[in-house]
Amino acid sequence: MSDSGSAREGRLASAAAKAAVLVEALPWMRRFQGATVVIKHGGAAMASKEAGALASFAQDVVLLASVGLRPVVVHGGGPQIGVWMERLGKEPVFVNGLRVTDSETLEIARMVLVGKVNREIVGAINAYGQLAVGLSGEDAGFIRASAHPGELGYVGEVEAVDPTIITRLTSQGLIPVVATIASDARGQAYNINADSVAGALAESLGADKLIYLTDVDGIRADRNDPASVLRAISPQELEDFVASGAVEGGMLPKVESALRALQRGVRSVHILDGTLPRALLVEVFTDEGIGTMITARGSQRVGEAK
């Protein structure tokens, strides 16, 4: 066979492989048409050293919107806040995965989350489609905060969510990008854990999916063994893992928010490594997925469970 013939066969094989991926994705695209998907993009995932990681995420989100889903992005920014605290001579303190926040730390968090990280994500998405709209929980007061009961300073909890502004944006084909600063009834601002905000927002929207993008590959049966990632798990099984101590640190707010969201109508919750190329698309549009899916059907991963 001539070199040109071999090259042509190679191109055809590559094209056929791409077509096969689209065929596998088609049923999921049709099934989730019009579905609301809340995506929590973690600060750790955003801090990935992989070249083009944010651009890749932005492309994935635009593709979701382009095939008829309604993505809503909620972002953290913990590593970025930590960098600015260090520059300003402040040492971060955490309790159960939550940052202790005095008034100065609150201002740093507000500056980083609203003024820097939010704008970066909005800009990245709009480079591929003029769809993203940045806002924080303070805008239109759509998230009402209250003080966290622990000794954490200006760390807040979600007291209430009015999703009207979000649904108006998504109904117009726009992509809300939410920074997790919100105020209480008196106007006092709080920094709220982004995992908790994503869960509360998913509940209020009646979202079909709540997806946590982080820098770990999912929930592990043995947290020190990457090969022990659980591809699917039920809420009860997850509660047992928490009770056993297998889930700790920064994963705890995700798991607690996931369990609450599932109890309040969110169909499925997914935890996956957002630093992997196309992780979001693989999880949503392929049979096997790539992270951990939490659903009432537990270990059933393929088919209706998704």
One-letter amino acid identity for 230?
A: L
Cβ atoms < 10 Å from Cβ of 20: 10
74 vs 275: CA distance, rounded Å: 16
- Residue labelled with tokens 């050293």: 49
- Once rounded to an integer, what is the mean pLDDT over residues 26-31? 82
Residue 256 has pLDDT above 90, yes or no: no
- Residue labelled with tokens 């200006």: 154
Which of 2-16, 144-158, 190-204 has the weakest average pLDDT?
2-16
Residue 237 has pLDDT above 50, yes or no: yes
- pLDDT for position 47: 59
What angle, rounded to 10 degrees, do the helices at 251-263 and 235-244 form? Answer: 150
Reduced to 3 states (helix: H, G, I; strand: E, B; else coil), residue 262 is: helix
Q: Residues in the chain, how many?
A: 306
> DSSP label at 288?
S
Q: Where are the beta strands (DSSP E) in the chain?
A: 36-41, 70-75, 94-95, 98-99, 132-136, 143-147, 155-161, 175-179, 181-183, 189-192, 209-214, 232-233, 268-273, 292-294
Q: Of residues 202 and 286, which shows the higher confidence score?
A: 202
- pLDDT for position 127: 96
Q: What is the mean pLDDT of the chain?
A: 87
What CA–CA distances, in Å, run from 37 to 52, 64, 151, 203, 268? 23, 9, 33, 11, 10
| Under 8 Å between Cβ of 143 and 114 | no
Cβ atoms < 10 Å from Cβ of 281: 19
- Once rounded to an integer, what is the mean pLDDT over residues 36-56? 78
Confidence band for 244, pLDDT divided at 50, 70 and 90: confident
Residue 292 has pLDDT above 50, yes or no: yes
231 vs 141: CA distance, rounded Å: 37
Q: Where are the beta strands (DSSP E) in 137-231?
A: 143-147, 155-161, 175-179, 181-183, 189-192, 209-214
170 vs 186: CA distance, rounded Å: 29
pTM for this structure? 0.87
- pLDDT for position 189: 97
Residue 304 has pLDDT above 70, yes or no: no
pLDDT tens digits for 50-102? 658 899 999 999 999 999 999 999 998 988 999 999 999 998 888 876 788 99
Structure token pair of residue 156:
């807040």
- pLDDT for position 303: 47
Burial environment of residue 306 by CB neighbours within 10 A (0 to 12, 13 to 18, 19 or more)? buried
Domains and CATH numbers, the chain: 22-305 (3.40.1160.10)
- Once rounded to an integer, what is the mean pLDDT over residues 3-19? 65
Reduced to 3 states (helix: H, G, I; strand: E, B; else coil), residue 265 is: coil
Burial environment of residue 303 by CB neighbours within 10 A (0 to 12, 13 to 18, 19 or more)? exposed
173 vs 98: CA distance, rounded Å: 34
- Residue labelled with tokens 């920074």: 179
- Residue labelled with tokens 């490594």: 273
